[in-house]
Amino acid sequence: MQNNSAKDDSDEMEIISSEHNGTVHDTKNEDSGDIHRAEENQKSNIDPNLYLYDDDLATRPHISTFISSIANYENTIPAATDPDAKPPQPSARMGTLIGVFLPCIQNIFGVILFIRLTWVVGTAGAVCGFLIVLTCCCVTMLTAISMSAIATNGVVPAGGSYFMISRSLGPEFGGAVGMLFYTGTTLAAAMYIVGAVEIVLTYMAPWASIFGDFTKDADAMYNNFRVYGTVLLIFMGLIVFVGVKFVNKFATVALACVILSIIAVYVGIFDNIHGNEKLYMCVLGKRLLKDIPIDNCTKDDSFMRDIYCPNNKCDDYYLNNNVSKVKGIKGLASGVFYDNVWPSFLEKGQFISYGHDSIDIENIDNESYNQIMADITTTFTLLIGIFFPSVTGIMAGSNRSGDLADAQKSIPIGTICAILTTSTVYLSSVLFFAGTVDNLLLRDKFGQSIGGKLVVANIAWPNQWVILIGSFLSTLGAGLQSLTGAPRLLQAIARDEIIPFLAPFAKSSKRGEPTRALLLTIVICQCGILLGNVDLLAPLLSMFFLMCYGFVNLACAVQTLLRTPNWRPRFKFYHWSLSLIGLTLCISVMIMTSWYFALIAMGMAIVIYKYIEYRGAEKEWGDGIRGMALTAARFSLLRLEEGPPHTKNWRPQILVLSKLNDNLLPKYRKIFSFATQLKAGKGLTICVSVLKGDHTKIANKAVDAKSTLRKYMTDEKVKGFCDILVAQQIGEGLSSVIQTIGLGGMKPNTVIIGWPYSWRQEGRNSWRTFIQTVRTVAACHMALMVPKGINFYPESNHKIGGNIDIWWIVHDGGLLMLLPFLLKQHRTWRNCKLRIFTVAQIEDNSIQMKKDLKTFLYHLRIEADVEVVEMNNSDISAYTYERTLMMEQRNQMLRALGLNKKENSKVESHNDEKRNSIDSDAPEETDAPETTSSKDESTEKADSKFKSNVKPDEFNVRRMHTAIKLNEVIVEKSQDAQLVIMNLPGPPREVRAERESNYMEFLEVLTEGLEKVLMVRGGGREVITIYS
List pLDDT tens digits, range 678-698: 875 466 789 999 999 998 889
Go through 657-676 and write b for each residue having 16 or more CB atoms within 10 A of its CB, e for each that does not.
bbbbeeebebebebbbbbbb
For the stretch 974-1028, pLDDT in tens is 988 999 998 888 888 777 777 888 888 888 888 888 889 999 988 777 676 655 4
Mean pLDDT over 395-414 rounds to 76
pLDDT tens for each residue of 633-650: 777 777 666 556 666 567
C-beta separation of 255 from 102 below 8 A: yes
* pLDDT at residue 174 greater than cutoff 90: no
With cut-offs at 50, 70 and 90, classify the pLDDT of residue 128. very high
Mean pLDDT, residues 171-195 taken together: 88
pLDDT at 624: 56
Residue 53 has a pLDDT of 47
- With bands split at pLDDT 50, 70 and 90, how would you rate the model's confidence at 394? confident
Q: Is the pLDDT of residue 848 over 90?
A: no
Higher per-residue confidence, 593 vs 843 = 593
What integer pLDDT is reported at residue 57 of this predicted model? 52
pLDDT at 830 over 50: yes
Query: At 103, is the pLDDT very low, low, confident or very high (cuts 50, 70, 90)?
Result: confident
User: Higher-confidence residue: 421 or 938?
Assistant: 421
What is the pLDDT at residue 923? Answer: 36
Within 8 A by CB and 6+ apart from 704, the residues are 664
CB 241, CB 515: distance < 8 Å: yes
CA angle 15, 21, 26 (to 5 degrees): 55
Per mean pLDDT, which range of 1-10, 129-138, 223-232, 325-334 is the poorest? Answer: 1-10
Give the pairing type, strands 654-657 and 831-840: unpaired
Per-residue pLDDT, 442: 94
Question: pTM to 2 decimals?
Answer: 0.65
Q: Which pLDDT score is estimated for 913?
A: 46
Over the stretch 324-342, which tens digit does the pLDDT of each residue have? 999 999 999 999 999 999 9
Q: Note the pLDDT of residue 401.
A: 63
Which helix (DSSP H) or strand (DSSP E) does residue 287 occupy?
A: strand 287-288
Band (594; pLDDT cuts 50, 70, 90) = confident
40 Cβ contact partners less than 8 Å away, ≥ 6 residues apart: none
Ranked by mean pLDDT, which of 765-774, 803-812, 863-872, 1007-1016 comes out on top?
1007-1016
Q: Where residue 419 falls among pLDDT bands split at 50, 70, 90? A: very high
The more confident residue out of 82 and 322 is 322
pLDDT at 11: 42
The dihedral built from the CA positions of residue 788, 790, 795 and 800, taken in this order, carries a sign that is: negative
Position 68 pLDDT exceeds 50 = no
β-strand 323-327 against 280-284: which pairing, if any? antiparallel
**3-state SS assignment for residue 827:** coil
Percent of the chain with pLDDT over 90: 27
Flag whether pLDDT at 351 surpasses 70: yes
> Residues with Cβ < 8 Å from 609, sequence gap 6 or more?
172, 173, 175, 176
Q: Which of 258-267, 395-404, 925-934 has the lowest mean pLDDT?
A: 925-934
CA distance 121 to 132: 9
Mean pLDDT of 226-239: 93
Q: Which helix (H) or strand (E) holds 715?
A: helix 699-715
Among 505-514, 557-566, 688-697, 793-802, the minimum mean pLDDT is found in 557-566
- Helical packing angle, 624-640 and 161-169, nearest 10°: 20
Our measurement of the distance from residue 410's CA atom to the centroid of its chain's CA atoms, rounded to an integer in Å, reads: 31
Q: Does residue 924 register a pLDDT over 70?
A: no
The band of 16, judged by pLDDT with boundaries at 50, 70 and 90, is very low
If you average pLDDT over residues 50-59, what whole number do you get? 48
Enumerate the β-bridge partners of residue 739: none
pLDDT for 308 beyond 60: yes
CA distance 110 to 537: 14
Confidence of residue 71 (pLDDT cuts 50, 70, 90): very low
Question: Bridge-partner residues for 654, per DSSP?
Answer: 685, 750
User: What per-residue confidence (pLDDT) applies to 577?
Assistant: 95
| pLDDT score at 893 | 72
**What phi and psi values does residue 938 have, to the nearest 5 degrees?**
-65, -40
Give the number of other Cβ atoms within 10 Å of residue 444's Cβ: 24
* Residue type at position 901: K
Residue 817 has pLDDT above 80, yes or no: yes
Of the candidate ranges 219-233, 570-584, 752-766, the one whose mean pLDDT is the lowest: 752-766
Over 80: is that where the pLDDT of 371 sits? yes
Write down the pLDDT at residue 764: 52
Residue 309 has pLDDT above 80, yes or no: yes
pLDDT value of position 76: 43
Which residue stretches of 330-463 are H helix? 358-361, 380-387, 407-436, 439-443, 455-459
For β-strands 750-753 and 783-788, DSSP reports them as parallel
Residue 538, pLDDT above cutoff 50: yes
Do the Cβ atoms of 108 and 418 come closer than 8 Å?
Answer: yes
C-alpha distances out from residue 972 to 2, 574, 1010, 1014, Å? 93, 75, 10, 17
Tens-place pLDDT, residues 654-672: 999 998 888 888 988 899 9
In degrees rounded to 5, what are phi and psi of residue 147?
Answer: -65, -40
pLDDT in tens, 721-731: 999 999 998 88
**Structure confidence at residue 900 (pLDDT):** 55
CA distance 201 to 595: 32
Mean per-residue pLDDT for 18-43? 44
462 preceded by a cis bond (ω within 30 of 0): yes
Four-residue CA torsion sign, 638, 644, 650, 656: positive
Mean pLDDT of 462-479: 89
